[in-house]
Amino acid sequence: MRIFIFKSEADARLRAFAGDLDGSKLPAQFRPWRAIGSIAADGDPPHQLPRAQIEKAINDQGFQLWRMKAGRKTAR
């Protein structure tokens, strides 16, 4: 499964994983969402997050949210 990574424009620290490039199932309360990357089917998620749990959440709910730690700098 290719996993797409999104950033919430409503909350700068909030990120999400989704199974589609449109992020069609991402929560509306944190819109707009901006695609910032993707993970190949054989790739590892960032920050050592567990791929199996991410895929399960996407299959069950259509997405998984995660929050960057305060003070962590991102290139995006």
Could you read off the pLDDT of 6-65 as tens digits, one per residue? 999 999 999 999 999 999 999 999 999 999 999 999 999 999 999 999 999 999 999 999
Question: Does any domain span residue 75?
Answer: no
**pTM assigned to the model:** 0.89
Is 16 in contact with 67 (CB distance < 8 Å)? no
Is 76 in contact with 15 (CB distance < 8 Å)? no
- The boundaries of the domain holding residue 50 are 3-67
3-state SS of 9-21 is CCCCCEEEEECCC
Question: Does any domain span residue 50?
Answer: yes
Question: Does any domain span residue 34?
Answer: yes
Question: Does any domain span residue 72?
Answer: no
Number of domains observed in the structure of the chain: 1
- How many Cβ atoms sit within 10 Å of the Cβ of residue 49? 14
